[in-house]
A and B are shown apart, each in its own frame.
Chain A
Amino acid sequence: MDIQSLQTHARHVRQDIIKMTAKAGAGHPGGSLSCTDVLVALYFDVMKNVDPADDKNPLRDRFVLSKGHAAPALYGTLCERGYFDEKEFDLFRQLHGILQGHPDIKKCPGVDASTGSLGQGISIAVGMALGAKHTGNPCHVYTIIGDGESQEGLVWEASMAAAHYRLDNLTVILDHNGMQIDGTNDQVMSLGDIKAKAIAFGYDVIEVADGNDMQQVLDALYAPKCEGKPRYILLNTLKGKGVSFMEGQVGWHGKAPNAEQAEQALKELED
């Protein structure tokens, strides 16, 4: 798909994120907006055999949103891709809705794993990649982790296993916006040299200078795989990307815009 169309889809997803969180009065817009571009790239261009009409195709590439609180970005992407109607947004985080506060494989079509408890998604993705190798399934497994999430020990247990089992059918994407609930990563718990850590854990690492630039994101996702090594894409992103008053603001991690703020945000995100 051409860059312009992908950018348009990303803009629509960002609009959905604002509408969804504003309507629910809750949710995580900041970290959803930072990973929107890579999600759109994955679902509209990169992932193979992804088809809303056949969402259980065993050969489909898998996606796990390890930073499950960015659910609005995943829901916006799945809706834009045709997995469900946008009327479902009305029940985001509401009783009997399919769009739970965090992704639920039992409720939402297109979701490959229930996530939300940080650190678990990447470990489940490792299991999927290992299971795919075991069964001879040629699919590829993608997962997006957060930088705050990388403080969880399980992220590193999973990483060790990914390298040990030479999972070159796995791509771990770090949405590195530098912020988490209580402040910047450095204020809360420094990640240190995250790139060096990823390399030391046995990943083939690609760093993307601007993780919100569609072309740069695509280049990284399409980079030839490194035989026998899991891939780690370090996306340097901007929290709240696309909405001026949310960009780079810690406060917008887990806070929904009010009606007035939503209106302004949607104006900025107009086609």
Chain B
Amino acid sequence: MEKKAVRVAYGEALVKLGAENDKVVVLDADLAAATMTNGFKKAYPDRFYDCGIAEADMVDIAAGMSTMGLIPFCSTFAVFAGRSYDQIRNGVCYPKFNVKFGFSHAGITLGEDGGSHQAIEDLALMRVLPNMTVFVPSDANECYQCVEAAAKIDGPVYIRTARLPSPVYDPRPFTPGKGTVIRDGKDCVLFTCGIMLEHVMDAAEKLAEQGIDAAIVSFHTLKPFDEQLALEYTAKCGKVFTIEEHSIIGGLGDTVASTIIGHGVRSFMKIGINDVFGQSGKPADLLREYGLTGPQIAEKVLKNL
């Protein structure tokens, strides 16, 4: 299967968007080669603004530019959502300015750079902000859709992308705020987001071998959250698991938990980063270390069914 990093798709999507909409400008903080905005920079040099290594300034500059009718896309590493948080909160979300954040290298699959750079908290930080839309594309095709949708939304949008190449699935119908049923099932449901989808699909196959029919629902939008779909599959399957490449505090797991509590949940388990920081390593080794490979997920599900 073809593999492509979601961040690469983000860069490609920006180039396409740039051709369609001349209001789109792209800002980066000296990471264009990593966030993949260098494609846009090359295609539209007069619409690309480097803000230097000053993420907070980049966010507020984007806020100001948006007041002139432009649609700024800010890009940097997801870990710097923390560094520029006050600017995202007060400079952009509070006045509901039309600024987009395409933050890459999220989660432990960033790999070798280590725990200082592995954002495990960005989704928690973003989803708590009023006016913010939060996208977590699961593959390149979904990322194209997220970027296109972000440009149409009047207000701040956060798009979380990954560094690690991951499978590219056939394009699926996309509606912002709606989850996607990847696999139907009746014994339990696996809710996931982002590039964990690959490993969750692997887990479901392993479970099938054991006679367990697991449903998979992937959420490309964490906010607004598709509560209806989460409730539907909770009612159908009863046993609920959430799998994410993020802290189990404040991310998908807690979003699901707060949605389904009191709605016929027979068992519930959050699988993710267990309130610890990451470390250096190869992405595959890190996934194994933190228990996020397909077989490990399947094992946890089997133990907790």
Contact = CB atoms under 8 A, between A and B. Distances in A.
A128 B90 contact: no
B68 A124 contact: no
B226 interface: no
B62 A127 contact: yes
Determine the interface band of chain B, counting residues with CB < 8 A from chain A: 20 to 34
Interface in A46-81: 58, 62
A164 to B, nearest CB: 7
Nearest to A105: B95
A123 B27 CA distance: 14
A127 B54 contact: no
B216 interface: no
Determine the interface band of chain A, counting residues with CB < 8 A from chain B: 20 to 34
Contact of A128 (B47, B52, B54, B68): B68
Interface in A128-165: 128-132, 134-135, 137, 153-154, 157-158, 160-161, 164-165
Nearest to A165: B49
B154 interface: no
Contacts of A130: 49, 61, 64-65
A116 B69 contact: no
B96 interface: yes
Contacts, number: 100
B112 interface: no
Interface string B31-60: 000000000000000010101101011001
Given A154-B56, A160-B52, A161-B54, A126 B67 contact: no
B65 A127 contact: yes
B108 interface: no
Interface in B56-103: 56-57, 60-70, 86-87, 90-91, 94-96
A123 B56 contact: yes
Interface stretch (A21-29, A33-41, A106-114, A245-253): A106-114
B25 interface: yes
A120 B90 contact: yes
Nearest to B99: A127
Given A105-B95, A114-B94, A161-B51, A134 B57 contact: no
Contacts of A131: 64-70
A105 B87 CA distance: 15
Contacts of A160: 52, 54, 57
Nearest to B68: A131
A106 B25 CA distance: 24
18 contacts: A58-B69, A112-B67, A117-B91, A120-B90, A120-B91, A123-B56, A123-B64, A123-B91, A124-B67, A125-B64, A126-B57, A126-B61, A126-B64, A127-B61, A130-B65, A131-B65, A135-B70, A157-B56
- 9 closest Cβ pairs, A-B complex: A127-B64, A131-B68, A123-B60, A131-B65, A127-B61, A157-B57, A128-B64, A157-B54, A124-B64
Given A154-B60, A158-B57, 16 more contacts: A62-B67, A105-B95, A114-B94, A117-B86, A120-B87, A127-B60, A127-B65, A131-B64, A131-B67, A153-B56, A157-B52, A157-B57, A160-B52, A160-B54, A161-B52, A164-B52
